[in-house]
Amino acid sequence: EPYTRLLLGTRYVLLRREFLKWRDWKREIPEVARRVLVTMGGSDPDNVTLKVIQALQQVDLDGLEAIVVVGGSNPHYEELQSAVQDARFPIRLESNVTDMPELMAWADVAISGGGSTSWELAFMGVPALILILASNQRPIAERLDAVGVAVNLGWYEDVSPTETAQVVTQLLRTPRIRADISQHGRQLVDGMGSDRVIRALQRQTQAHQSRVWE
């Protein structure tokens, strides 16, 4: 319809309600990062999560710890349980998490798929490494890398655990890069998207009512 208005871009990102209380939170950037959050989405049918765990095993850094988040529909849960139990550093496996902002606040760095979690990580200022898990994630990952909001690792099948480990290690040991990514993320997704959508709807409604009364 001619009156249709499209609200496009990251100014209109609709975050889940639990994220909104973190708008004024300030992230600390440690000299050496040691806390890694891994989240590859709900089902992860290709078990990319295991590949990331294998990559983290190759990171040579004292005091490293990780939290791995999986969805309730993940068919590889038992295999992942075995992998984290055999890990050479503490890895906690979490399923059906209800408070992702808390885990993102805990993490110094995240390894994630390139879906809507990317906007949540940007809002929380988490320096993120993105693996492309589906073709529709490619433009997101490439653009976020281009504007300095994340590091695009590429298509998950093309990236070896060793290559992932090298990039992770560099990011963990480089506070300047992490600080820049964090700052750019908070600028890109400021948490005001839902407010802007509501105001736009209100203006549209008011304009429509004015036309009706005329």
Lookup: tokens for 1: 């319809």
Q: What is the pLDDT of residues 113-137, one digit of tens each?
A: 999 999 999 999 999 999 999 999 9
What's the number of CA atoms in the CB half-sphere (13 Å) around residue 132? 20
Residue 212 has a pLDDT of 63
Kind plus residue range of the DSSP H or E element containing 88: none
Looking at residue 87, its pLDDT comes to 93
Task: Write out the two tokens for 43.
Answer: 């089902």
Per the DSSP assignment, residues forming a β-bridge with 155 are 132
Which residue positions in the chain have pLDDT lower than 50?
none
Residue 91, strand partner residues: 66
Q: Which amino acid is at 166?
A: Q
pLDDT at 71: 87
Contact present, 74 and 44 (Cβ < 8 Å): yes
> Which amino acid appears at position 126 of this protein?
V
Among positive and negative, which fits the CA dihedral 144, 147, 153, 157? positive
